[in-house]
Chain A
Amino acid sequence: MSEQTPVKEAPANPPTELEKRFPGAVKRDERPGFEGHIVEVAKLHEVAAAIRDEMGYDFLSSVTAVDYYSEAPEGENFIEVVYHLYKSTGGGALVYRVQVPRDNAVVPSLVDLYPGADFQEREAWDLYGVKFEGHPDLRRILLWEGFAGHPMRKDWKEPYFEEDVKPFKNRWPEGQVYRIEDRNPVGKNVSYPQGFDPDGFQETDDPRMYESLERSSQDFIEQIDTEQVVVNLGPQHPSTHGVFRMAVRMHGETIVGLKPVMGYLHRNHEQIGERNTWTMNMPFTDRLDYLSSMSNNFGYALAVEKLIGEKAAPPERAEYIRVIMAELTRISNHLWAIGFLLNDLGAFFTPALYAIEERELILDIFEATAGSRMMCNYFRFGGVARDLPEGILPKIKDLVTDRLPRKVEELDLYLSANELVRSRGEGVGVITPEDAIAFSAAGPVLRASGVPYDVRRADPYSIYDRFKFDVTVRQHGDVYDRYMIRIDEIYQSLSILRQALKDIPEGEIMNGKNPYQVRVPAGESYGRVEGPKGELGFYIVSTGKANPHRYHVRAPSFINLTILEKMCVGQKIADVVVNLGSIDIVLGEVDR
């Protein structure tokens, strides 16, 4: 509910707890609309360690960089790295940040404190060129080694650059439309450094990845003197759930090293999001985790509403509609995840077909409500785009009271006790609770490891505090538990849906009228929801203009993959696809 940190609850003027604890190293962020503290770069590691160990902020939710750049020499010119932390026992966020000059962006790495920062720091290096000192494997993650420049910096322009912000003048209002490719000499969106010669050019991406793979499996290489094999799974592989690639180093059939390679679907959400206006970003969030567009809408709407404040508080009916849609999304996502996990286990397509059949019924509801099966674009700041169509509520009621419980029980009956599912799932890919928290795993992956952390309960948003539901938790942290937890969650979602359908009031669905453009005051906000795949966060920075200054997505699938290597090392090659399937990734969200 409240984004006030425990630290900030102290009276405003006297030094906060953090300032008292680290005199000189920490100062409050005084900019209007900003929260948290600014930490001296040199002291970052020390402060972060103390915050983790003394204050109990053990879950590093998000690490991201923001570029403050202005052409004017006296303007602000620095890169800020923002850290959002939570306690794994629940409660609000602790925010701290460091500021470094743009031309010498070096920040100490926190990977040794929070292993979950690994991929996020690599992403900040890739897109912003922030060098994390002490990072064990600082390579590009979404783009490839050798790419010219760091594209998210504000002074980097893409080859199809037209203007800094939308709507572009050539489309609106006069509408002098031209084709941007006609303005590029090659006719494609490419640009090269001056004097570049394509002949005899050698790629450098893969060699560096293989070096890193060899480094991480060095211990094994020294122990054993048999020949080791490197196998590449993906990016075109039926079991990688999209264009994901894993380079696996094996001794016999046992895995000694694994490097995930991603970015094959990196479609520049964040940069496009910073050109778009606030409302224009809503349909783009649909395409993040394209199996659960309603949840993505929810997260983005929450983040922006938090920044706008009371003026954008949605009316009652809209809140209920939001919860109904988000929970339906969770069910449809979990059905898909279970179906395709079974696919990976070798039950080729039969369980998936059964699961897809039920999912289609939920998609019908989405199509009737939002107009599209997958890309719903349904939420607006301060409500939802349109009211529920006539006669849809009885349909949803039928589905959640009758058909879905029956069908999920059927799935449960046929699959959960199945000997093959158990023997291939139990004890495979075990994540301990300590590891799950340290690696910032979220959602079903975290809860299957025995950590009862659910954003809906730990830091309630919307109207989730009104519903009775259990935070599902399983104790073993293996593939079987990650499968079971999804079945459990479907039952809980059905229960929430039944309560919401009983209580949904009549009334308005928008706070005020649906505006063409929203006014968002300057400041920052971090809105997070419990998406079907885990904690989905949106970090936005506004300068009061029509476009976000920074738009960052804390993607659960992306961060859940950090632990993949640890899960897989020591296991057999056949278990890799199962481990990956049990994390339930969607590449649109991993690569953004």
Chain B
Amino acid sequence: MTEKTVAPTVNSAGYDVPPELRQSVAITTLDKIWNMGRRYSVWPMMFGLACCAIEMICTAASRYDLARFGMEVMRPSPRQSDLMIVSGTVTKKMIPQIVRLYNQMPEPKYVMAMGACASGGGPFKEGYNVVSGVDQYIPVDVYVPGCPPTPQALLHGLMKLQEKIDRESITKVRWYQKDEIPAIPVPILGPDIIDPRDSAAIREMASRKAAPAAPAAQPEAAEAPAA
């Protein structure tokens, strides 16, 4: 009977522990201990963009109670947070700030795209000021569908994130490697949003403007000529 009291996930390294020690000794991998510590203390950033932020607050409130997952400590500063929940429509005017916040977060860091807008533009995808998905600029770990996702859906997404953390290994994840991870270049607000990584493509696109695929933007002037 006693061997069943120890959780099988912990004592799973494949070593035989003598029966008399099984109540006090467990053998496991460093990865598991490491991941268990992290999965139960994910600190999300207190950072709301739009409608989804309201559901995020509701999830943190008493009825749905994010604290059950060890995630109730919402930090208003990116320097203290592990998880960025991109909760709402990402606009071109806001994306430089989001990238900057992401760069300021210490590793290990995760990003969750909450809702249709953050995942792919959602109902506002066609809008001239809307970025169709935050993953065009920063890497996303979990996508939560919905418009907005209910608190239950957000909790499900957070559990998926925990599962993802469980599968990580400190020998493989990128933030424990020797090379420094370069910061993501911050987009610039020009005549349209400029991603510095795309500058060659942008120059090429702007030089052959007559192509019908991309409708012409007008020069900045009150006297906009008829197209």
Contacts and interface: CB of A to CB of B under 8 A. Distances in A.
Nearest to B58: A356
A149 B127 contact: no
Nearest to A375: B147
B23 to A, nearest CB: 41
A243 B51 contact: no
A184 B63 contact: no
Contact of A185 (B88, B89, B128, B213): B213
Interface stretch (B11-19, B36-44, B129-137, B163-171): B129-137
Interface SS of A by simple majority: loop
A190 B192 contact: yes
B205 interface: yes
A192 B129 contact: no
A360 B65 CA distance: 13
B103 to A, nearest CB: 13
Nearest to A159: B214
A150 B53 contact: no
A198 B199 contact: yes
A197 B123 CA distance: 31
Given A198-B199, A203-B190, A267-B124, A150 B94 contact: no
Contacts of A357: 61-63
With most chain B CB atoms within 10 A of its CB, the pick from A156, A162, A267, A352 is A267
B127 A198 contact: no
A236 B101 contact: yes
Interface stretch (A11-19, A284-292, A378-386, A461-469): A284-292
Contact of B224 (A146, A156, A161, A199): A156
Given A185-B201, A275-B126, A237 B218 contact: no
A554 B222 CA distance: 24
A146 to B, nearest CB: 6
Contact of A105 (B57, B94, B97, B222): B222
With most chain A CB atoms within 10 A of its CB, the pick from B93, B222, B224, B225 is B93
Interface stretch (A213-221, A258-266, A573-581): A258-266
B76 A203 contact: no
Contact of B188 (A155, A203, A291, A373): A203
B192 A159 contact: yes
A235 B147 CA distance: 23
Contacts of A183: 213
A388 B91 CA distance: 37
Given A129-B224, A181-B132, A375-B148, A148 B202 contact: no
Interface string B209-225: 10101111111111111
Interface of A: 69, 71, 102-106, 129-131, 142-144, 146-151, 153, 155-162, 180-181, 183-186, 188-199, 201, 203, 205, 235-238, 242-243, 263-268, 271-272, 275, 283-284, 287, 290-291, 352-353, 356-357, 360, 373-375, 587-588
